Amino acid sequence: MRKPSTTLLAAIIGLVPSATAWTHASDPLLLEPQSRLWIDGKSTVRKFSCKAGAFDVAIDAAPDAVAAVLAGQKAIRTVAVTVPAAKMECGNGTMNEHMLKALKAKDVPTIEFKLAAYDVAKGGPGVQGTLNGTLTLGGVTKTVAIPAQAADEAGRLHVTGTYTLDMREYGLKPPSLMMGTMKVDPAIAVSFDLYLKN
């Protein structure tokens, strides 16, 4: 059996520190305060929009992830988004009450998204891709694929996207007001406008 050459061994050993650095080095991306997350929908009477009054985004990334992502590289390892359902604000007390009931906020206080994988490619002034993961709404978890875009915004990563879902697929009953004369369409659009920095 042939012994591996000294040159080959040196090359393999030379790769080890880089692999180790990638595994352990971490530089979480931080969410800027102007970031937004909201839901748009419509009823038999009018359109409505409910914003997340508070939400948390935890991102584990490689060092200098902003520049790497903008170059079309996969530099983000994990993403977890948590939204307190009770913090959804629809601009109307009655609508807030009915939306919280529809979201089952008392029994399931949080809405969660967890990233499983993603693709990213250069496109236009920034990058485009798809966020693949799971969305938990009303206690029901579904696999989702969310189209997203990212661009440089004064050295920050500006990420935007919209995902349309059917509330009924999550076991949720769309709100109905005024003795059923106003019914909310089960299709709602979840949008995000995030600013992230190293």
Report pLDDT for 38. Answer: 97
β-pair partners for 147: 130
Contact 141, 114 (CB under 8 A): no
Give the pLDDT of residue 160: 97
- Assess whether pLDDT exceeds 80 at residue 126: yes
Over the chain, what is the mean pLDDT?
A: 86
pLDDT of residue 5: 44
Delimit the domains of the chain by residue range: 27-197
Q: How many CB atoms lie within 10 A of CB 135?
A: 19
Is residue 116 over pLDDT 60? Answer: yes
Terminal C-alpha separation, the chain: 50
Six token digits for residue 13: 């050993």
Contacts of 94 (CB under 8 A, 6+ apart): 177
Q: 27-197: which CATH topology?
A: Lipocalin (2.40.128)
C-beta separation of 101 from 118 below 8 A: no
Alpha helical stretches, state H, 106-156: none
Closest CA to 88 of 27, 19, 138, 158: 138
- Considering just the CA atoms, what is the radius of gyration of the chain in Å? 21
Tens of pLDDT, residue by residue over 84-99, are 999 999 988 888 998 8
Instruction: Report the distance separating Cα 79 and Cα 63, nearest Å.
Output: 15
Task: Give the helix/strand (H/E) hosting 175.
Answer: none
Q: Are 43 and 99 in contact (CB under 8 A)?
A: no
User: Residue 45 — pLDDT band, cuts 50, 70, 90?
Assistant: confident
Distance CA 102, CA 167 (A): 9
Average pLDDT over residues 46-60: 94
